[in-house]
Structure 1
Amino acid sequence: MFSWVGKIANAFGDDKDDRLDDDKDPLIWCKDLEKHAFGEFSFAVVQANEVLEDYSQVEVGQNATFVGVYDGHGGPEASRYICDHFFSHLIRNVQEKGLISSEVLKNAVSATEDGFLTLVRRSCGIKPLMAAVGSCCLAGIISDGTLYVANMGDSRAVIGRLNRRRSSKIVAEQITEDHNACRNEIRRELKQDHPDDPQIVVMKQGVWRIKGIIQVSRTIGDAYLKKPEFALDSSFPRFHLREPIRRPVLGNGPSLYNRVLKPDDKFIVFASDGLWEHVTNQQAVEIVHNNPRSGIARRLIKSAINVAARKARKGYDEVQKIEKGSRRAVHDDITVAVVFIDQQINTDIDEVSMRGFGNATTASSFSTL
């Protein structure tokens, strides 16, 4: 037992395992190091599901940087829809308000949710399971020295900052709250909001689940848990509710955060829960701090896969050879974007849009501001 724990520990910190530096995994996509307005960023995605359910984007503007991580479930339709529409809603709201703020992020979430539910309504006659498709949504934007974040679900944003009092040790600061029923606070909140429903949260397959079905308590989509009109009948036993809902079971509004960035704030890690399942906040920021910037998002993903492999009693090389679909038994789809915050401003950058697992780089809508 001791040796196994020790091997997991060696996946972090100053471990220089060459396997984390190679590029042999065909299911990993990456942009090892690119420029944004206030520094550099590294971006990577690994696919585990048969169909990739993590969609993501980085939008680079002359005066702002946007990161979106959308971790889908039940299918890719919701996360793909968010990736296609969220940023345009955000830009429209910024144009209307004349500034970037938490309010415009919240309005962009609301518009995206409304748009997806309209799509579900139009599709459910042909594809009823669209009502059971949903996605977490983590969106962050840096502008005028301030970080604004909107979050729904259990993707997470973590800042790495220097602690000058402790010999400049890097310290992790979690910016977002995980909306997941595994947390006591979330279960307490759900029970308070649904005092007449003793089955609002139940333990199933070893984890707490809302209505015995889903772990995350706030999402975009999952229409059948929000509106009675989208209820699924008993021919879909996984998603069928014995009693119709009287009010939404899941929240559809984001938690909002803003923070003025300080000189000791060195970088932000945005990632889906596939990373955080295997890597703690502190381990993640130490990996970033102790290794070269180039390829650091890919290194974080490979560190998580390394730990997942050991938990499954497999070698890292064995996992590399597992095809998508089958690989889901070892780890989830994982998206990571590491955004470094530097003191200098990059004035020679193009305003571009990058999509996770997409090789095309296009002009960003930031240019319309």
Structure 2
Amino acid sequence: MLRSCIRPLERCLGIRNGDGLLWHMDLKPHASGDFSIAVVQANSSLEDQSQVYTSPSATYIGVYDGHGGPEASRFVNRHLFPYLHKFTKEHGGLSEDVIKRAFNATEEDFTRLVKRSLPVRPQIVSVGSCCLVGAISDGELYVANLGDSRAVLGSRGSDGKRNSVVAERLSTDHNVSCEKVRREVEAQHPDESPIVINCRGVWRIRGIIQVSRSIGDIYLKKPEFNRDPLFLQFGNPIPLKRPLLTAEPSIVTRKLRPQDLFLIFASDGLWEHLSDKAAVDIVYKYPRDGIAKRLVAAALHEAAKKREVRYKDIRKIEKGVRRHFHDDITVIVIYLDHDHRKSPKQKQNYVGSISAPVDIFSYYSDEVEENPVDKIFPNEESRHILAVS
């Protein structure tokens, strides 16, 4: 009964428009501007998770792109921001050290969950998630990431042209498709050659995985898990002299400048089809309202062209099958209004947290997606949070 009462309100806040696997919020305020969010599902279970936390003193942005299943990205979605709040309070403010502590605590907690979940779902040892986090506090921007989700800054051009905008990538793609990352991984494993293998035109670590940093993927980090008898029922042991992946984030810190206009945080599902510059040009050119959905639509148009189908036909394809045409795509656009002035009373309205639905298909169809791992922690909230005050 409670679920049926809440759902009409949620659907007023998160809008469905023509595509049963697309969810979006056109525009919401944060302390120094507006933000827009959109998610389109392609996998049988949505592996992308995302959230925005707003307060008068800080704005947090999270995009978590799971692989091997949704458990890791859902776990990060529930635990990382609380750790950021906890450590920020304990250490008197946000810092790179606070962010690293939050990532490390989330990784440790997920590792404990994996250990407890083995009898229920041994495959969870091979579940992981990329993790992209942005934080804006006191005019300072922090971008931390694991994996190949990406944050891009759009700034006013300095070439004197009135309508020019510059794209600046703020995150590092931890993907061995990049030569620099391949060299980094090889340098960490000098006595394990070859460590990065080209499999049918795609570079992968040990021929298994493309990303070099993540939350989870425990079987590639701790040998005791990939040798566990339960894991061996479905997987082969992987000899490990040292961890193949790490959960140490790369972090960029910078002061926001008057010419900085907006930030785009997105999973690699967007960047597979749009360049940094193309995405920034779209945000700069079009109105704010619904801009994240517009970026998703642009990516889907490009995906349709590559597969030689029509865009409107892609929107009709079912989850699971749709993964053959594009990945889950999450986009969050954060506008930076440097002359944004609000009274203290108005700023109080910015306190709140928005998370995209855990699964878009289930959200619209009223299906309850069963996840046996959620039963390990029965007191935790397993559905998505959508609370704005």
How far apart are 1:357 and its partner, in Å? 2.4
The equivalent position to 2:56 in structure 1, one of 35, 58, 62, is 62
Q: Is contact 2:357-2:385 (8 Å) kept?
A: no
Q: Is contact 1:28-1:44 (8 Å) kept?
A: yes
The equivalent position to 1:345 in structure 2, one of 338, 341, 346, is 341
Moved more, 211-220 or 164-173: 164-173
The equivalent position to 1:308 in structure 2, one of 300, 303, 307, is 303
Q: Counterparts of 2:195 and 2:245 in 1: how far apart (Å)? A: 10
Structure 2: runs of 5 or more not aligned: 1-15, 359-383
State the secondary structure of the residue aligned to 2:303: helix
After superposition, the C-alpha distances for 1:103-152 in whole angstroms (9 at most, x for unaligned) are: 11111000000000010011113321110000000011101111111100
The equivalent position to 1:53 in structure 2, one of 47, 55, 71, is 47
The corresponding residue for 1:270 is: 265
How far apart are 1:99 and its partner, in Å? 0.6
The corresponding residue for 2:32 is: 38
Please give the TM-score of this superposition, normalised by the length of structure 2. 0.85
The equivalent position to 1:134 in structure 2, one of 128, 137, 143, is 128
Structure 1: runs of 5 or more not aligned: 1-21, 365-369
How far apart are 1:235 and its partner, in Å? 4.1
Q: Is contact 1:30-1:357 (8 Å) kept?
A: no
The equivalent position to 2:191 in structure 1, one of 188, 196, 202, is 196
What residue identity is the alignment partner of 2:44? E
How far apart are 1:196 and its partner, in Å? 1.4
After superposition, the C-alpha distances for 1:63-97 in whole angstroms (9 at most, x for unaligned) are: 11110000000000000000000000000001100
How far apart are 1:156 and its partner, in Å? 0.5
What percentage of residue pairs aligned between the two structures are identical?
49
What residue identity is the alignment partner of 2:147? G
State the secondary structure of the residue aligned to 1:190: helix
Please give the TM-score of this superposition, normalised by the length of structure 1. 0.89
After superposition, the C-alpha distances for 1:6-44 in whole angstroms (9 at most, x for unaligned) are: xxxxxxxxxxxxxxxx93111110010010000000101
Q: Counterparts of 1:209 and 1:144 in 2: how far apart (Å)? A: 40
Q: Is contact 1:61-1:351 (8 Å) kept?
A: yes
How do 1:91-110 residues align onto structure 2 when only pairs under 5 Å count?
91-110=85-104
How far apart are 1:322 and its partner, in Å? 0.3
The corresponding residue for 1:214 is: 209
Q: Counterparts of 2:196 and 2:274 in 1: how far apart (Å)? A: 26
Distance 1:108 1:363, change over 3 A: farther
Q: Counterparts of 1:265 and 1:97 in 2: how far apart (Å)? A: 28
Q: Counterparts of 1:217 and 1:94 in 2: how far apart (Å)? A: 27
Q: Counterparts of 1:275 and 1:143 in 2: how far apart (Å)? A: 27
Q: Counterparts of 1:268 and 1:295 in 2: how far apart (Å)? A: 15
Moved more, 204-213 or 296-305: 204-213
Q: Is contact 1:149-1:256 (8 Å) kept?
A: yes
How far apart are 1:251 and its partner, in Å? 1.5
State the secondary structure of the residue aligned to 1:165: coil
Distance 1:111 1:209, change over 3 A: same
Q: Is contact 1:39-1:345 (8 Å) kept?
A: no
Q: Is contact 1:135-1:219 (8 Å) kept?
A: yes
How far apart are 1:192 and its partner, in Å? 1.0
What residue identity is the alignment partner of 1:84? R
What residue identity is the alignment partner of 2:356? G
The corresponding residue for 2:287 is: 292
Q: Counterparts of 1:350 and 1:188 in 2: how far apart (Å)? A: 44
After superposition, the C-alpha distances for 1:208-244 in whole angstroms (9 at most, x for unaligned) are: 001101000000000000001111565434xx34x52
Q: Counterparts of 1:136 and 1:178 in 2: how far apart (Å)? A: 10
How do 1:1-369 residues align onto structure 2 when only pairs under 5 Å count?
23-168=17-162, 169-231=164-226, 235-237=233-235, 240-241=236-237, 243-342=238-337, 343-347=339-343, 348=346, 349-357=349-357, 361-362=386-387
Q: Is contact 2:48-2:63 (8 Å) kept?
A: yes
Greater relative contact order (CA < 8 Å, ≥ 6 in sequence): 1
Q: Counterparts of 2:385 and 2:99 in 1: how far apart (Å)? A: 26
How far apart are 1:199 and its partner, in Å? 3.1
Q: Counterparts of 1:114 and 1:36 in 2: how far apart (Å)? A: 31
State the secondary structure of the residue aligned to 1:79: helix
What residue identity is the alignment partner of 1:352? G
The corresponding residue for 2:370 is: none
How far apart are 1:356 and its partner, in Å? 1.2
> Could you say what the CA RMSD is over the residues aligned between the two structures, in angstroms?
1.5
Distance 1:116 1:305, change over 3 A: same
How far apart are 1:205 and its partner, in Å? 3.3
Q: Is contact 2:356-2:386 (8 Å) kept?
A: no
The count of residues paired between Structure 1 and Structure 2 equals 340
Q: Is contact 1:176-1:257 (8 Å) kept?
A: yes
What residue identity is the alignment partner of 1:345? R
Distance 1:125 1:361, change over 3 A: closer
What residue identity is the alignment partner of 1:108? A
Q: Counterparts of 2:385 and 2:90 in 1: how far apart (Å)? A: 29
Q: Is contact 1:163-1:170 (8 Å) kept?
A: yes
The corresponding residue for 1:8 is: none
Distance 1:213 1:258, change over 3 A: same
